[in-house]
Structures are given as C-alpha cells and as structure tokens.
Amino acid sequence: MKVNIGLKDAARTSVVKILNTLLADEFVLYAKTRRFHWNVVGPHFGELHRFFESQYEAIDEHIDEIAERARALGGVATGSLKEFLAASRIEEQAGRNPDARGMIEALLADHEAIIRALREDIEVVDGKFGDAGTGDFLTGLLEQHEKMAWMLRANLG
Ligand SMILES: [Fe+2]
C-alpha cells in the first residue's frame, strides 16, 4: 500500500533510517540497563536494583514507540540483535560490570550521548525532511532522556 502522508518517499526512507538507528541505541541501552539491574552490588543494592528497573521499563516503551513509528512511515523496523549492535551509537561494553557508581556513570554517559544525537536528528527530520510528526516525537523522547539523565546524575551527588 502506498503511504500518502505528504512526505516524499526519499524523505520517509531517510527518516525511517534515523528511527532505526535510534532504535538500535535504545535496544543496546535497554540491555545494558537490565544487565546492571541484575548485577549491581553494594550498600544501595535494593534502591539501584529498582531504579534501574524503572529505567529499563521506560526504555522498553521507547523501543516499541520508535519501531512502530518506523512502520507508520511505511518502513520496516529493525528487530535483529546483530543489526542493533552494528547500528548503535552506544557501546554495549559486553562482559564488563563496573561497580555501582561506574554503572550509573556509564548509563548517564549513554543517555547524554542519545540526547546529543537526538538534537541533531530532530534538526534533520524537521528541517531537512519536513517531517514535523517525527520531529515532535523525537522531541518528546529527548525530554524523557533528559529526565532520566537527571535522575542518574542526582545519584552521583
Ligand atoms: Fe528483575
């Protein structure tokens, strides 16, 4: 079925690619946050275990919304771990569990990297491709990541 929503095909294709790159970032960050939820140790275990859980649950919702937006624009949502790892701008840091503070620092750095990437993505989808809907959607995500980054940062004192 043809998608007739006032965006050129090339623009939609480019925006879907941007969404899939972000989807990869979020999936890698989801896995890392969940791994830290499982493996955190120390005197604040209970608190951090629950805190990381609330964060990966929020990221899980981002993942679904981003993938479904790619579909709404007529694209295909990436759903392969291999492709996520190849496309992600976030380092997975496999097999390495830092101490509790290091976990918070690593997640904070990832959220801040996503925030910076989102600022550029918003300019491109809105300015270059005229996709106000995705611009608005990504702006909402940007705000959520800013809040999550603040909560991580607040843990560091
Ligand atoms: Fe759990």
Query: For 120-151, how does the pLDDT look when each residue is reduced to its tens digit (9 = 90+)?
Result: 999 999 999 999 999 999 999 999 999 999 99
Percent of the chain with pLDDT strictly greater than 70: 100
Distance from the alpha carbon of residue 53 to the mean position of ligand 1, in angstroms: 7
Ligand 1 centroid to residue 37 C-alpha, Å: 7
Dihedral angle sign, alpha carbons of residues 54, 58, 64, 67: negative
Instruction: Report how far apart the first and last C-alpha atoms of the chain are (Å, whole number).
Output: 53
For the chain, list the domains and their CATH numbers: 9-90+97-155 (1.20.1260.10)
- Has residue 116 got a pLDDT over 90? yes
Quote the pTM value.
0.96
Q: Are 109 and 90 in contact (CB under 8 A)?
A: no
pLDDT, tens only, 50-68: 999 999 999 999 999 999 9
How many angstroms separate the alpha carbon of residue 50 from the centre of ligand 1?
8
